[in-house]
Amino acid sequence: MKIQFTTIEGKSFQFYAILVILSILAAAGLYASYRMFEGGHYITGMTNQVPWGFPIVMAVYLIGLSAGSLVLSSLSSVFGKKEYKVFSRVAVYLAALLLMAGLMSITLDWGRPDRLMIPFTYFNFNSMFSWNAFLYSAYIGICVVYLMAMFAEKEKLVTFIGAVAVIWAVAVHSGTGAIFGFIHARELYHSPLLAPSFIAAALSSGTGLMILILLGTFKFTNRPLDNRLILGLSKLLSGFILIVLYFIFIENLTRFYAFGLREAEHYYLFEGLHSKVFWIGLILTGSIIPAAILFFPKTNKSIPWIALASFMVVIGVLAERYIIVIPAQTYPLDQFPGKEVSSVFLDGAYANYLISLPEAAQAVGIVAIVGIMFILGLKLLELLPTEAVIHDTEKK
């Protein structure tokens, strides 16, 4: 049976209410970014010791969600899971939006966002940032073409672009991981595992977000949604959670094993605010509890529980991004092994980083912009199917 995609009506009171609330949040976020640009970055929590703060955490997180979403959209076109075709359009559209949001977070974090075109005109072959500037632009282009091919219902073209999109999503997110993994000087960054673990986190957070988006949109538009779809996605999610946990375990075990890294590892796991984010945010909220929900037979068939688990994973991956980006910078560089170093520059001391209000407002604003664009997209483009029901003849 052919799936009918239609726009939503978007005339109800709730629709406009959501739009207005999101617009207010977006305006607040943009105002915070303007203050950062106009007044200088002193209003953020970043310092010379911690040059990358929450905007970079958000950027990595959003790019991860985007990559995960794009891979999910290709489940039907490339990997032959036809029943997942119902959300492929939404997933691609969301992937494009989230990547743009991630780029926005990075660009607004620059000291000079007005110099936006310079990365495209001065290319540094060795810099991961430089490569990413092109990977990301092409990614958005691929998303647009992919979506247009889907609107035109050209099956073969969709399959081809879908394959390109999957490869590209993996490349883009590995590039994002490599930004950190290639930093030799900081022992908590420098790791070849960072790129694959970024992909795993992207897949798990992308799947979690897709479950939430599907449940939310279908409930809101009163369109029928087959529970088996959500159950299938939740099975994928439970696998991805385990892969993420595995990467975290291996990475930390490696660092714990080496004597030279043990002090850094101890700091990473047990000291400071980030260690709480690690244990409570990532391990407990982001992995153990959702995994328990998804594997426990009484809860893994109930939609509210799955929604809760998905939400926890989405939050947990944000925590993971935080504990990847921040502690590596707050842990001091070992400039003189064996000596206690101190200076007015705060060398040798644990640096502090606290998310400031403008950074948080900017992050919320960017997410709100994604929300606005998403619901406007639902209204203007034929993204949502009239029904998401798996017909038994379809399932082979």
Partner 1 sequence: MPKYGMVIDLDKCTLCEACVTACKLENNVQIVSKEDAAIGRTMFWMTMLTLEHEGQYPDIKLKRIPRLCFQCDKPSCIKTCPVRATYKREDGIIAQIYPNCIGCRYCMANCPYTVKVFNWDRDKQPQQVEKCYNEDVSVRPKGIVEKCVFCIHRLQKAEERAKAEYRELRDGDYVPACMEVCPAKAIYFGDLDDPHSKVFEAIKDYRRFTLQEDLGTIPKVYYLNAKD
Round to whole Å and give the CA distance between 88 and 147: 9
Determine if 340 is a binding residue for partner 1 (CB under 8 A).
yes
- The binder of partner 1 chosen from 19, 213, 289, 346 (CB under 8 A): 346
Residue 311: how many other CB atoms lie within 10 Å: 16
Question: What number of other Cβ atoms are within 10 A of residue 302's Cβ?
Answer: 13
4 forms part of the interface with partner 1 (CB under 8 A): no
Using CB under 8 A, which of 112, 156, 298, 391 touches partner 1? 112
Q: Does 137 bind partner 1 (CB under 8 A)?
A: no
Q: How far is the CB of 330 from partner 1 (least distance, A)?
A: 10
User: Does residue 21 belong to the site contacting partner 1 (CB under 8 A)?
Assistant: no
Selected binder of partner 1 within 25, 106, 245, 264 (CB under 8 A)? 106
Q: Is position 344 an interface residue for partner 1 (rule: CB under 8 A)?
A: yes
Q: Are 37 and 108 in contact (CB under 8 A)?
A: yes
Q: Does 263 bind partner 1 (CB under 8 A)?
A: no
**6 strand-pairing partners:** 384
Q: Does 184 bind partner 1 (CB under 8 A)?
A: yes
Q: Does 392 bind partner 1 (CB under 8 A)?
A: no
Candidates 96-104, 125-133, 210-218, 270-278: pick the segment binding partner 1 (CB under 8 A).
Answer: 125-133
In the complex, least distance from residue 112 CB atom to partner 1, rounded to whole angstroms: 5
Collapsing DSSP to helix, strand or coil, 190 comes out as: coil
Could you give the CA distance from residue 150 to residue 164 in angstroms, rounded to a whole number? 14
- Region binding partner 1 by CB under 8 A among candidate stretches 63-71, 110-118, 151-159, 237-245: 110-118
* DSSP line for 346-378: -TTS-------HHHHHHHHHHHHHHHHHHHHHH
Which of 166, 186, 149, 172 minimizes the C-alpha distance to 49?
186
Give the burial string for 106-140 (b: 16+ CB within 10 Å, else e): bbbbbeeeeeeeebeeeeeeeebeebbbebbeebb
Determine which helix (DSSP H) or strand (DSSP E) holds 315, and give its type and residue range. Answer: helix 303-325
Q: Tell me which of 122, 298, 391, 396 binds partner 1, using CB under 8 A.
A: 122
Residue 50 CB, shortest distance to partner 1, in Å, is 7
CB of 101 to partner 1, least distance (A): 17
Establish if 357 lies at the interface with partner 1 (CB under 8 A): no
Q: Given candidates 2, 11, 48, 259, which one binds partner 1 under the rule CB under 8 A? A: 48
Integer CA distances (angstroms), 22 to 156, 278, 362, 365, in order: 38, 30, 13, 8
Say if residues 149 and 161 touch (Cβ distance below 8 Å): yes
Report how many residues bind partner 1 under the rule CB under 8 A: 54
- If the CB atoms of residues 2 and 112 are measured against partner 1, the closer one turns out to be 112
Nearest 5°: phi and psi at 258? -75, 130
Q: Supply the minimum distance, in Å, between the C-beta of residue 267 and partner 1.
A: 17
Tokens of 98: 């989230």
Using a 10 angstrom Cβ sphere, with 0-12 exposed, 13-18 middle and 19 or more buried, the burial of residue 44 is: buried
Nearest alpha carbon to residue 352 among 55, 54, 49, 14: 49
| Least gap, CB of 80 to partner 1 (angstroms) | 39
Q: Per CB under 8 A, which region of 10-18, 47-55, 217-225, 313-321 contacts partner 1?
A: 47-55
Closest CA to 144 of 122, 127, 128, 168: 168
Between the two ends of the chain, the Cα-to-Cα distance in Å is: 14
Environment class of 296 (CB within 10 Å of its CB; exposed 0-12, middle 13-18, buried 19+):
exposed
Question: Judged by CB, which is closer to partner 1: 346, or 360?
Answer: 346
Of 40-48, 153-161, 226-234, 298-306, the segment contacting partner 1 by CB under 8 A is 40-48
Assess 217 for contact with partner 1 (CB under 8 A): no
Stretch that binds partner 1, among 49-57, 67-75, 167-175, 301-309 (CB under 8 A): 49-57
Stretch that binds partner 1, among 105-113, 214-222, 268-276, 315-323 (CB under 8 A): 105-113
Among 4, 12, 342, 386, binds partner 1 (CB under 8 A): 342
Residues lying near partner 1 in the complex (CB under 8 A): 37, 39-42, 46-52, 106, 109-113, 115-116, 118-119, 122, 124, 126-130, 133, 179, 182-186, 189, 329, 333-336, 339-348, 351-352
